[in-house]
Structures are given as structure tokens and as C-alpha cells.
Amino acid sequence: MANKVKEAWKAGKAVVNGWLAIPNGFSAEMYSQCGWDSVTVDMQHGVQDYLSCVSCFQGIQLANGPTPMVRVPWNEPGIIGKVLDAGAYGVICPMINTAAEAAALVQYSKYPPQGTRSNGPIRAGVYGEAGGYQKTANENILVIPMIETKTAIENIQSILDVPGIDGIYIGPSDLSFSYGKTPKLDVEDSEILSIYEMLLKECGKRGIAAGLHNGSPAYANRMIKMGFKLVTISNEVGIMMNAATAAVKTARGE
């Protein structure tokens, strides 16, 4: 089965990405029906482990639902291989700071000869042509390093030149932190916004999609207009809490 996010990017379209912190297949099932283009299981900062990731994937219902992706905890071949075997169509990996780290991420995510991923797609193999998963996995799976430090910005051209990188994903809080600023999502700081512009320009030169984590839908829409091709809005916990808080205040007449 083709990667719908990859197809959207080829067509020049932006995708809106959901974010799952709750380790529960039912909530993932319900959330995935809200119109997202893709939904990402957050194994880094979310309350997710490998079994809950599999459960969330089962809830997402690939055939008619959004594209399932994962933010792995770290750039490590064991967990990257396992989430791909579970059926992830994209791997977002935190704290990629050098071209060597980016190359390692590609290597861990691809089957030979492009990489060193071990063969055993226990769940992923059920999609696509019977027995054909290994033939299309290298092409279908998105490899997306996170750019979220000053070091990564200093090395950005060499990182983006690594073969096999499909997109980047900016972590605004850590990026702001790295520059000595207050960590936050929807930044208005001119220095950080100028970095966004530079990243969009460098990605555009290479046909690489740029993604960004956002705190609000309005800011996400603004970033799409700025040129980002993947925008995440908070996570399901944040959206649920905001909606619940507003409901309680409305009920009390506050």
C-alpha cells in the first residue's frame, strides 16, 4: 500500500498530523477518525511503549484511516526496526545533530542494500502485496530526523544532503532551549522564525519536506502558509484537556 503522506508531499500538499501520547488502542481508534492525514505514536515523550504502539496501530485501521507513524525514543536500531515491523510508515527520530547521525537513522530504517534493517516484518508484512513488503518498504517508509538543536542548525546542509532523508521535523521547544530561550511551541521570536525560513529554503532546494510541532491549530495553519508540509497540533491529551476545561467553564457560566 502506498504511503499517502509521501504522495501528498510529491503533489506539493501539506499534511495535518495527529499525535498520540495515550497508550490505548480505543482512544487511538477514535482519534484517528477525526480527519488527520497521519497519526504519530509518541514513544519519546508520550506514555507509550512497544505494545501500546502496536495497539494504537491496530486502532488506526490503516486501510481507511490516516498514515501511521512513530516518534521513536532515540536513534537506536532495535526500536526503529521494531516499530517498522509493527507497521509504521514513517519514523520521526529526535535529536539528530550531525550528518553521521542522520546517515545512521537511514541505515537503521532501510533494508539492504540501502541499510541494515533486519528482516522480520511481523505485522507490517500484512499490508501491500502478499510477500511483497520487502520490495516496497525502502521506498514507502519515511525517514524524518528531528532538527531541534543549535548544533543541528550549524550542520543542517550536511544533514539534508544525506541520501534517504524524506523530511525533517522541527522541535520548537528544544530548539528554543538550545538557543538560550524559553522552550515553547508556537514561537514568535524573530531569531527562531528566521531559522524556520532558512530551513524551509534549504529543504526546498533538495525536495525535502519540512515538518513542525505546533501548539494550536491557528499557528499550524499559519505554518502551512509559510511552507511547512507537515504540521502537528499538540497531542490528544492537550486537545482533550483544553476541550474539557472549556466545557466545564461554559457549564458554570464562567
pLDDT at residue 127, as a whole number: 55
How far apart (Å, rounded) are the C-alpha atoms in residues 165 and 142?
8
pLDDT at residue 1, as a whole number: 79
Q: Is 45 a catalytic residue?
A: yes
pLDDT at residue 63, as a whole number: 79
What is the full per-residue pLDDT of the chain (254 aa) written as tens digits?
789 999 999 999 999 999 999 999 999 999 999 999 999 999 999 999 999 999 999 999 877 899 999 999 999 999 999 999 999 999 999 999 999 999 999 999 999 999 999 999 999 986 544 568 999 999 999 999 999 999 999 999 999 999 999 999 999 999 999 999 999 999 999 999 999 999 999 999 999 999 999 999 999 999 999 999 999 999 999 999 999 999 999 999 99
Phi, psi dihedrals of residue 110, rounded to the nearest 5°: -115, 145
How far apart (Å, rounded) are the C-alpha atoms in residues 120 and 179?
41
How far apart (Å, rounded) are the C-alpha atoms in residues 86 and 48?
14
C-alpha pair distances (Å), 167 with each of 24, 51, 170, 244, 245: 28, 27, 10, 34, 35
Looking at residue 124, the DSSP 8-state letter turns out to be G
pTM for the model: 0.97
pLDDT at residue 252, as a whole number: 98
* Cα dihedral value 103, 18, 122, 52, nearest 10: 110
pLDDT at residue 128, as a whole number: 47
- Rounded to 5 degrees, what angle do the CA atoms 78, 9, 34 make? 80
Using an 8 Å Cβ cutoff, are 36 and 18 in contact? yes
How far apart (Å, rounded) are the C-alpha atoms in residues 158 and 106?
14
Closest CA to 32 of 72, 67, 1: 67
pLDDT at residue 64, as a whole number: 83
How far apart (Å, rounded) are the C-alpha atoms in residues 236 and 59?
14
Q: How many structural domains is the chain composed of? A: 1
Tell me, what CATH number does 126's domain have? 3.20.20.60
Active-site residue (options: 4, 45, 123, 222): 45
118: containing domain: 4-251
Using an 8 Å Cβ cutoff, are 110 and 117 in contact? yes
How far apart (Å, rounded) are the C-alpha atoms in residues 209 and 169?
9
